[in-house]
Amino acid sequence: MKTFARLLALFVLLSATCASVSAQDKPRWITKGVASLEKERSNDSYTFREFEIFGGDIDLLRKERFNPLVGYLANTFGADSASAQVTLLSASSPRPATLNDAEGDRSVQAEYRVTFSAPTPMTFYAKLVDEYVSFDENVDMSFDYTLYQLFAISSTADGAVPQFDDYSYSRKYNTRALALSIVPGLGQMYKGHNAKGWVIIGGEVVFVGAAIYSQIRQHNYSDDAKNASDAIAPSYRSKSKSWRQVRDVAIVGACGLYVYNLLDAALSKGARQVVVNKASGTRLALSPSVMADPMASPAPAVTMSLSF
């Protein structure tokens, strides 16, 4: 019984330690994908895409950061990636972005124009919405980095400037996290705290299992005490009392962890997520295009896009 109690106490300590550790969580668009963001767009002139690039040199990764974007456009629209040119059009802020800012850093946002000269001239526009860098340490003390990037990209190849929405960041979640936390751990997983969610689920399983097991042992020793001789009955009653105490501790632990699960789901911040809002004001954009006429050769033109 003492060994069982020690194991239970050890698990309580481990659960508290894991729950209290505040780890840097990957943004929601990495762990859950971009499907939910696609539904929040105010128009279909662009689409969201998430790209990953790996390597042992973070500076080199940043120099090659547009390779996945160029490759996606080339494969999707039949362009030659070797003829691509990426031009910075605008940036949110001149200051350098904070690496993996848990709250998000809008200074990473920037708009680019991607042009292809072969096999036919094509122009696309892309906006970097968010980024995240993860790293793993190797046995030789070197690091392997992964650069994650979320882009909003032209959905067509007509050269028109997309009507990009306004993008901000938030770690607050709606009441759905609290509703899901009725099942212990699901609210945390919904917010991207998978490790904490599994700790809560495992904790409830251990506490409830310990309560049931302790109740069975307490009941057995209680019956043994009733049927035992006066010489050994006190020993059985003592063991019955000890198992009853373990049961009570397990019940209190299960209830306490469940209450923590509800409060954490309702009040704690989750993994960073991108918030999409329709851009305010009127926007006029001009972009080069080609006018196709079956009776004549293609002629250069200008596409005008007005949004308000």
Could you read off the pLDDT of 213-230 as tens digits, one per residue?
999 999 999 888 888 887
Task: Kindly state the tokens that stand for 272.
Answer: 């960073």
Strand ranges, E, within the chain: 46-55, 84-91, 110-116, 122-137, 143-154, 166-170, 273-277, 283-291, 299-307
Is residue 139 in some structural domain? yes
Rounded-to-integer distance, Cα 200 and Cα 178, Å: 14
Question: What contacts 135, CB < 8 A, 6 or more positions away?
Answer: 58, 143, 144, 145, 146
Q: Is residue 84 a part of any domain in this protein?
A: yes
DSSP 137: E
Burial tier of 185 (Cβ tally within 10 Å: 0-12, 13-18, 19+): buried
Residue 246 to residue 240: CA distance in whole angstroms: 10
Among 262, 263, 271, 261, smallest CA distance to 201 is for 261
Task: Give which of 273, 269, 210, 272 is closest to 243, Cα–Cα.
Answer: 210
The alpha-helical segments, DSSP class H, found in 139-193 are 176-180, 186-190
Q: Is 297 helix (H, G, I), strand (E, B) or coil?
A: coil
Q: Is residue 269 in a domain? A: no
| Domain assignment of residue 288, yes or no | no
**Residue 237 in domain:** no
Amino acid at the residue 250 = A
Tokens of 146: 């992964």
Q: What is the pLDDT along the chain (308 residues), one digit of tens a residue?
A: 555 555 556 555 555 555 444 445 789 999 889 999 999 999 999 999 999 999 988 889 989 999 999 999 999 999 999 999 999 998 876 655 566 787 888 889 999 999 999 999 999 999 999 999 998 887 787 789 999 999 999 999 999 999 999 999 998 876 888 889 999 999 988 887 888 899 999 999 999 999 999 999 999 998 888 888 878 888 888 988 999 999 999 999 999 999 999 998 888 888 899 999 998 754 555 555 555 455 555 556 555 555 55
What's the total number of domains in the chain? 1
Is residue 285 a contact partner of residue 305, using CB atoms and an 8 Å limit?
yes
pTM comes to 0.71
Integer CA distances (angstroms), 39 to 48, 275, 277, 295, 308, in order: 10, 12, 12, 41, 20
150 located within any domain: yes
Spatial separation of the C-alpha atoms in residues 50 and 31, rounded to whole Å: 11
User: Domain range spanning residue 125?
Assistant: 43-164
Beta pairing partners, 114: 86, 124
